Amino acid sequence: MKLAWLRTGAALAILLSWPQARPEAQMCTPDLVIVNANVHTVDRDKPAARAVAVCGERIARVGSDDEVRRLAEAKTRIIDAGGRLLVPGFNDAHVHLIAGANELVGVDLRPAKSEQAFARALGEYAARLRKGRWILGGYWDHEAWPGRRLPTHALVDAVTPDHPVFVQRLDGHMGVANALAMKLAGVTRDTASPDGGTIVRDPNGEPTGVFKDNAMALVTRVVPPDALDETIEKARAALAHAASLGVTTIQDMTASAAELQAYQALRDRGALTARIYSIQNHGIDGLTAAGVRTGFGDDWLRIGGIKLFADGSMGSGTAAFFEPYTDDPKTSGLLLQSPAALEKAIFDADAAGFQVIVHAIGDRANAIVLDAVEKLRRERGPRDRRARIEHAQVVRDADKPRFHALDVIASIQPSHCIDDMRWAEQRIGPDRVKMAYDFKSFADAGARIAFGTDWYVEPLNPMLGLYAAVTRQFSDGTPPGGWFPEERLSMAEAIEYYTLGSAYAEFAETRKGSIAEGKLADLVLLSNDLFTIPPREILKTRPVLTIAGGRIVFEARANP
């Protein structure tokens, strides 16, 4: 893949440099002024204000209505916020953008509450497709079905005789294939499960159609890739969805070079409506050979780190624990690579100048990653690496302070908590579940925290994450007081982790993440005041305006 950025060594050197200080405010006639707002800045030097002026892509002034209004001239657009809450644009630290777009444009199996509903939705979708077209995505959840049984290819075959199918569980760590897909992939009863993966079999040894973690590649390797224009259109749909939710930065787990090409094409056309920090989820050999490392790019599209995997997921029974699962004592989960192999990958990525970003959910997986980072710091010395553990869902109490000591960022998706608490204790027992989804404990331990959603796994809506962080309750307000209520956060903390915390996780806290003079003008005006409304009203809150780089990228047609 050719990157337009790689044209001269001089350009490369310039783009690789990071600003170390807050940008100076621009002295100009504002293009946009927002007045009569309740401005929550996430800036400790000036925590609140009433008005904001924007020049070009940056914030020029934060202050009172009078001092900001005085800057406006005839060309300035003046927006009266009507006293509404204005916050920094939300920065989602963990997104699968193109996979999320599949949910917008493809089959959505998430609402299915039974095996029968799953099959019916799949059959109805297949009936609208030309024969032979693969059916992917889906994002079903068997935990929501009576009996909680995994689907089988027999269930899928009956409704998709003419279409190869590989639809994934909502966590992305297992999927079910129909017989046609397994035939195309050459999977038989004699096919061995790969290291770090499982082919689920029936009592006779035949594959049921379910493939877990590394075994999924046995099927996905034969799925034809989208054309570039298809990927671009998916990205457009996903970006429009993000703008409607107030998300102005997406830290994307970029799954292929084609996805990176699509983002570059949209950047070249000026069509990005959210900034993209592209974390490589497909290897870095080509980028390394070209001299690219973390930080290459601009404020709209920047190369992030490399994503590595320690384990699977708790919902799929593949998160790696020290002790067996309570509901399945035959297994303690899966390491997707050996500790030695993961350590080598971490060292290699660090040597190539890439931020190390590791998926770890179980207590054993998190401990292994922390051990590797500790060894890296000991042998190579400290520097501003900002290593990250994605999810950090079940972490031993003794390991939580290590995040601060080792400068490891806890990249957390709070909405996982209120989804998984339906079944987490059944899966790992009452003792380990006390160590799970411990938002406040990480904060108290001094860890740097970034918030996101893991979309497609969870909805992209930041309001769901904020609600989960401050209530730890289902959407109906149960359980009373919240699930392990001592782990709740304040709304101010939750917003900070979703803005400035996520900016720190991508080395961008000097450029965005708070409403401060000189920073990028990424702003969201909300329909409700998150600090004063009843908690369940958070879920009904919507953006009135989303502004990215001083440009309005979403405007509600009517006041929500």
Q: Which residue has the tokens 């790696």?
A: 320
What is the pLDDT, as a whole number, of residue 4?
37
Beta carbons of 57 and 215 less than 8 angstroms apart: no
Q: What is the C-alpha to C-alpha distance for residues 95 and 148, in angstroms, rounded to an integer? A: 27
Under 8 Å between Cβ of 503 and 519: no
Sign of CA dihedral 102, 107, 112, 116: negative
Cβ–Cβ under 8 Å, residues 105 and 234: yes
CA distance 120 to 61: 55
CA–CA separation, 542 vs 527, rounded Å? 5
How far is it, in rounded angstroms, from Cα 385 to Cα 406? 10
Q: Alpha-carbon distance 555 to 533, whole Å?
A: 22
First vs last Cα of the chain: how many Å apart? Answer: 44
Beta bridge partners of 61: 53
List, in order of start, the domains of the chain with CATH numbers.
24-88+513-560 (2.30.40.10), 106-220 (3.10.310.70), 310-456 (3.20.20.140)
**Sign, Cα dihedral of 346, 350, 351, 352:** positive
User: Any residues with CB less than 8 A from the CB of 198 and at least 6 apart, and which?
Assistant: 211, 212, 213, 215, 318, 334
Residue 381 and residue 87: Cα distance in Å, rounded?
Answer: 38
Extended beta strands in 485-540, E state:
523-526
Strand partners, 253: 279
- pLDDT for 1 equals 35
In angstroms and rounded to an integer, the radius of gyration of the C-alpha atoms of the chain is 23
- The sign of the dihedral angle between the CA atoms of 536, 247, 98, 351 is negative
Decide if 185 contacts 211 (C-beta within 8 A).
Answer: no
Mean pLDDT by 10 residues, the chain (560 residues): 34 33 64 98 97 97 97 96 98 96 88 95 93 91 93 94 94 94 96 95 96 95 92 96 98 95 97 98 89 95 97 94 97 97 97 97 98 98 96 98 98 96 95 96 98 95 98 97 97 98 98 98 98 98 98 83
CB 103 within 8 A of CB 137: yes
| Measured distance CA(276)–CA(298) in Å, rounded | 10
Ordered DSSP codes for 394-419: B--TTTHHHHHHTT-EEEE-THHHHH
Q: Where are the beta strands (DSSP E) in 461-519?
A: none
Question: Per the confidence metrics, is the pTM higher than 0.75?
Answer: yes
- Please name the amino acid found at residue 224: P
| Cβ contact 135:129 at 8 Å | yes
pLDDT at 47: 97
Task: Give the list of residues 6+ apart from residue 346 with CB closer than 8 angstroms, or none.
Answer: 308, 356, 358, 369, 372, 373, 376, 387
Dihedral of CA atoms 187, 190, 194, 199 in degrees, nearest 10, equals 70
CA 55 – CA 61 distance, rounded (Å): 9
pLDDT of residue 24: 52
Name the DSSP letter for residue 149: P
